[in-house]
Structure 1
Amino acid sequence: MTGLGLPGALPGAGASLRALDETTSVRVWLHVAATDMRCGFDRLAMLAQTVLGQDPLSGHLFVFHNRRSDRLKILYWDRDGYVLWYKRLEEGVFKFPRVAKDASSLELRSSELAMLLDGIDLSSVKRCKRYRRKPG
């Protein structure tokens, strides 16, 4: 745990979640639809469970954004309580990856979350083919 309270995050918050690496067991789930940013811990935990189909107490990161995509909340459970990380952009918007129209969630790699927070447009990122072991 670090100064941000996020698993694997760097203290100082400028780098946000950059230190979350691909070897961690923490998964990142993006709620595709816009979320009312007035929602707090309990409502976001309920969305993680009902819409994303995930256990909000799992320790995984659950990412929610508003309609304008200039605000982002990340919810996760930290051993003895929920932690809510909130970012508001003063200029610009977050650019999310393209998803199927009927999708309600998308699993992101931790590197994709770091890119998203750094202002990289995930819908235009192209990855070279690489071997990736299936989680199991």
Structure 2
Amino acid sequence: MLTLPSSVRIHLCARPVDMRKSFDGLCVLVRQVLREEPLSGHLFVFFNRTRDRVKVLWWHSGGFCLFAKRLEKGSFRLPHPLPEDGSALTLEAVELTLLLEGIDLKASVRRPRWQPPPLKSAA
């Protein structure tokens, strides 16, 4: 289970990526395709076309971390339909953990949760 602070967002690139890309190539994709800043401390998730490989790029403590996983059989199943424009999906840490463990989240149902009401601005 990933334990990330709630301030860390997880962006999944909907466009298939060449898995030969490393730190610099993925940083370019984060800036140009996802329109995010790679030095933000957020996680950026990339899959290849067949979705049997994944890379996660993360800036932490003055350097980039690159995590990779290759499945020997099967493919990763994304929890949401992919946007047509090739932009990003935002995931929760639990969704990323289950996705990397091979659990298909399409059949799962998220129960409604309480949300605090929006703050009223003083005018």
Common topology (TM > 0.5): yes
For 1:102, the equivalent position in structure 2 comes to: 85
Larger Rg, first or second structure (1 or 2)? 2
Match of 1:62 among 30, 44, 62: 44
Amino acid at match of 1:66: N
Question: What's the CA shift string for 1:19-73, capped at 9, x where partnerless?
Answer: 325x521110000011000001001011111111111001100000001100000
Structure 1 residues 42 and 120 mapped into 2: Cα distance closer, same or farther (>3 Å)? same
Higher helix share: 2
Instruction: Identify the match of residue 28 of structure 1 among 10, 21, 35.
Output: 10
Matched residue count: 116
Name the SS of the counterpart of 2:40 in structure 1.
coil
Listed as ranges, the matches of 1:1-136 within 5 Å are 18-21=1-4, 23-96=5-78, 97-132=80-115
Structure 1 stretches of 4+ with a deviation exceeding 3 A read none
Please report how far the alpha carbon of residue 116 of structure 1 lies from its aligned counterpart in structure 2 after TM superposition. Answer: 0.2
TM-score (norm 1): 0.79
Structure 2 unmatched runs, 5+:
118-123
Identity of aligned residues (%): 44
Identify unmatched segments of 5+ residues in structure 1: 1-17
1:78-121 Cα distance to aligned partner (Å, 9 max, x none) = 12111100000111100012133224100001110011011111
Rate the CA distance shift 1:77–1:133 in 2: closer, same or farther, 3 A. Answer: farther
**TM-score, normalised on structure 2?**
0.87
